[in-house]
Amino acid sequence: MTGRLAQRHVLITGGGGGIGLAIAEACLAEGARCTLADRPADPPGDVALLRRRHPATVAYVAADVSDAASVGGMLFAAKAAHGDIHTLVNNAAVFDLAPLLESDEASFDRLFAVNVKGMFFVMQRVLQHMVDAKVAGGSIVNMASQAGRRGEALVSHYCATKAAVISYTQSAALAMAPHGIRVNAIAPGVVDTPMWSQVDALFARHQGLQPGEKKRRVGLEVPLGRMGTPGDIAGAAVFLASDEARYITAQTLNVDGGNVMS
């Protein structure tokens, strides 16, 4: 690797596995120090292994991004571990689906609490830190989704939350441009992570499919012919965090194998 993130501290929410963990591994390979945040009190197995491999450059903190006090504790712990935060990867999210006429308030509240409220207030707190500390080259990478680019009959709440991520990314980028802080997002397509077991089961229940059938179909429907991997997303995150993207802000980068064209 080229050391593109040397001397930088990257905070990754939803870092306990899947895309978040892959981004951490890619950032470490480029010389970064990483703080991974997720809900379990103790680091999940893969995070514990990563910490053993990189004891000086990996920290873990338990946090619930939908809770303001927990967010404050997360930032305090991250700064205590590795100093000023240069990049936030705002990755924590939850998923649910249901037919529109059956979508309930509990699902709405849960998705918006994490995917929108949590995303915004984590971003806001980190941006305030970057401004106060005069962090040079600060950047935010929010995790949107191809679902934020279009509606889906069974996925109305989730689609709306990810559309909000795209909108907040644009507004925050304009607000932070005078401070030299860049704010961008990534819109992954269908990515083969452990969460897809839950997604596949929900589609199977509501569409009358056999287990595994939805996952097989969505992979075949991608123009490049396969589902994405967490590593596919990690490369884009490293790029947006690096100086190679120093003139890129207010953008949402589609990393979806050609599903969405913009």
158 part of the active site: yes
Q: Are 19 and 95 in contact (CB under 8 A)?
A: no
Fold of 9-189+228-252: Rossmann fold (3.40.50)
Q: Residue 222 forms beta bridges with which residues?
A: none
Task: Determine phi and psi for 92, rounding to 5 degrees.
Answer: -60, 135
Boundaries of every domain in the chain? 9-189+228-252
Q: Are 192 and 216 in contact (CB under 8 A)?
A: no
Of the residues 60, 158, 168, 247, which is catalytic?
158
Q: pLDDT digits over 116-126, tens only? A: 999 999 999 99
Q: Which of the four pLDDT bands, split at 50, 70 and 90, describes residue 208? A: very high
**DSSP class of 148:** G
Q: Which of the four pLDDT bands, split at 50, 70 and 90, describes residue 83? A: very high
Task: Determine phi and psi for 235, rounding to 5 degrees.
Answer: -60, -40
pLDDT at position 197 over 90: no
Radius of gyration of the chain (CA): 18
**Stretch 60-83: mean pLDDT, rounded?**
98
| Whole-prediction pTM | 0.96
pLDDT at position 80 over 70: yes
